[in-house]
Amino acid sequence: KAKFAEVISVGNSFKTTVSLCMDDLGTNVGCSAGSNGVPAADTAPTNVFSMTVTDGVITIVSTVSVEGDAIDFIITPTTNSGSVTWAQTGSCLAKGWCK
């Protein structure tokens, strides 16, 4: 679980730039890694196997596994009255590693 904290940190670090992109474009469409102010996906951290940011949805697959299954963390933005909120999903929920 401690190693997975790095995965959550990387995901959360992208939320600000995705939120700014969504504010600029008025939509999440186009807020993807490497475009419209969203940085390229960060796979340098030790515990990150792969990462994508597509239309605002941040998906990270961890190198941390349980019984051979890689644990993923998915953060999905929604806009309501100009405010961006984030829903967390992925296999990390079942493990209790993310909220």
Over residues 49-61, the pLDDT tens digits come to: 999 999 999 999 9
Residue 99 lies in a domain: no
Q: Which domain holds residue 47?
A: 4-92
pTM above threshold 0.85: yes
Residue 65 lies in a domain: yes
| Region 1-28 average pLDDT | 92
Please, which pLDDT band fits residue 69 given cuts at 50, 70 and 90? confident
| Region 81-85 average pLDDT | 88
What is the chain's mean pLDDT, rounded? 92
Residue 21 lies in a domain: yes
Residue 67 sits in a domain whose CATH number is 3.30.700.10
pLDDT given for residue 55 in this prediction: 98
Q: Answer for the pair 43, 49: CB distance below 8 angstroms, yes or no.
A: yes
Q: Is the pLDDT of residue 19 over 90?
A: yes
31 phi/psi in degrees, rounded to 5: -90, 80
Residue 75 lies in a domain: yes
